[in-house]
Amino acid sequence: MKAKAPKHSETIMTQIVFPNDTNPMGILQGGRLVHWLDTAAAICSQNHAEHICVTASIDSVKFKAPAKVGDIVTIKAKVTRAFTSSMEIFVQAWAKKVLTQKEYLINEAYFTFVAIDDNANPTQVPGLKPSTEKEKIEYQLAEERKLARLKV
């Protein structure tokens, strides 16, 4: 299987925060945001693997700032490393105020997705070929993060 560039599967997903997505303060619910992150990461991993992929773990989820009703939320998901059947996906989300166009980071998280075959068994995925300096660093660190999360 030929290794793929992270760019190949990089996924950008946009949502708008509706009242039904929020708590009584009008702030986007954490669970709803994680659902959106999971969806973007699933699309990203499946485009890399060319297989159905399932969420194996979510870690280092950081809620850095709130998003409010009417904000536009942009989510970016990118594969940092592909192992044998699993892939680590780094997901970031930004909220933008429509009137000022001010955009700020609201969340970061690491997802692990596993590619599965027709019998729901893990199956091999293509490798990842990082090219930028940042992608190469993330690729190296992903090995340590994998070991740490499997130890828990």
Count the Cβ atoms, other than its own, within 10 Å of residue 123: 17
45 lies in the binding site for ligand COA (CB under 6 A): no
Q: What distances in angstroms separate CA 119 from CA 46, 54, 110, 114, 125, one per listed residue?
A: 17, 13, 26, 13, 16
Stretch 96-125: interaction string toward ligand COA, x if CB under 6 A: ----------------x-x-x-----x---
- Residue with smaller CB distance to ligand COA, 27 or 56: 56
65/83 Cα distance (integer angstroms): 32
| 58 beta partners | 111
Interface with ligand COA in residues 64-103 (CB under 6 A): 83-86
Q: Answer whether 104's CB lies under 8 Å from 70's CB.
A: no
- Residue with smaller CB distance to ligand COA, 22 or 46: 46
**Nearest distance from C-beta of residue 41 to ligand COA, angstroms:** 10
127 lies in the binding site for ligand COA (CB under 6 A): no
Residues near ligand COA (CB under 6 A) are: 54-57, 83-86, 112, 114, 116, 122, 149-150
